[in-house]
Amino acid sequence: MPHVVIHNSVSADGGVGGFDIDIGLHYEIAAMFGADVHLVGSETMLAAGMDPDDAADGALGPPVDAPDDRRPLLAVVDSRGRVRTWAALRQAPHWRDRMVALCSRATPADYLDHLATWHVDHIVAGDQRVDLAGGLAELERVYDAKRVLIDSGGTLNGVLLRAGLVDEVSLLVHPQLVDGPGRVSMFRTAETGDPVALRLVDAEPQRGGIVWLRYDVVEAAGKAGGG
């Protein structure tokens, strides 16, 4: 199973939105993990507001797999087939040209056709939602993913943490507090469970009063041998 790191920029109250994120620092620190794969939730992708594929200027060919390309592979969890911005994603500089959608057996067939049209790979894991343990295992088996960075919102974080699939949590704590009903935590679940215990590994001040906190998850119970 790959080593899994959640990386989030948060307000001092643990929220993931509604404040000014130092996005440059977010990705500078993300790059330091040297992840093979960036795993992103569908809501995060939709929130990015990229251009839709049906507005793309011409078709893209099959992905180019350059052996010296050290950029991460982008993988998106999308059982409902909602992310249709692959042309823009493939043209962005952050990831390799090859990309993969994590789908389930409930993913509409026309979405799999859409992925094929845009030369995006897919993995099928799970009946309704994506079986994330199975998806991570496939990412390792097919793409040799050893380190996976989760760049997502609290929902995907929550499912992965509750499934015991996360080894590390990296937080860039910004010196701002966010209130109001729209405030969303970096750890969101449908039901309240026991707290997830963390062990502090490092705390490092960054520019602008931001603090980088690195934690190990004390028990990544969903991973054989504790990760």
Q: Contact positions toward ligand NAP, by CB under 6 A?
A: 8-9, 16-17, 21, 41-44, 47, 77-80, 129-130, 132, 151-156, 159, 188
| Shortest spacing between CB 216 and ligand NAP, in angstroms | 19
CB closest to ligand NAP, residue no:
153
Which residue type does 152 have?
A: S
In the three-class reduction of DSSP (H, G, I as helix; E, B as strand; rest coil), residue 89 is classed as helix
- State which residue, 56 or 106, has the beta carbon closest to ligand NAP: 106
- List b or e across 56-71, with b for residues whose CB sees 16 or more CB atoms inside 10 angstroms: beeebeeeeeeeeeee
| Shortest spacing between CB 25 and ligand NAP, in angstroms | 11
SS (H, E, C) 23-75: HHHHHHHHHHCCCCEEEEEHHHHHHCCCCCHHHCCCCCCCCCCCCCCCCCEEE
- State which residue, 8 or 85, has the beta carbon closest to ligand NAP: 8
- State which residue, 7 or 90, has the beta carbon closest to ligand NAP: 7
CA distance 45 to 47: 5
| Shortest spacing between CB 89 and ligand NAP, in angstroms | 15
- State which residue, 66 or 203, has the beta carbon closest to ligand NAP: 203
- State which residue, 71 or 188, has the beta carbon closest to ligand NAP: 188
- State which residue, 31 or 64, has the beta carbon closest to ligand NAP: 31
| Shortest spacing between CB 129 and ligand NAP, in angstroms | 3
| Shortest spacing between CB 133 and ligand NAP, in angstroms | 10
Beta-carbon contacts of 125 under 8 Å, excluding residues fewer than 6 positions away, are 102, 103, 104, 131, 132, 134, 135, 138
| Shortest spacing between CB 153 and ligand NAP, in angstroms | 2
CA distance 116 to 60: 11
Other beta carbons less than 10 A from residue 97's beta carbon: 18
CA distance 124 to 142: 12
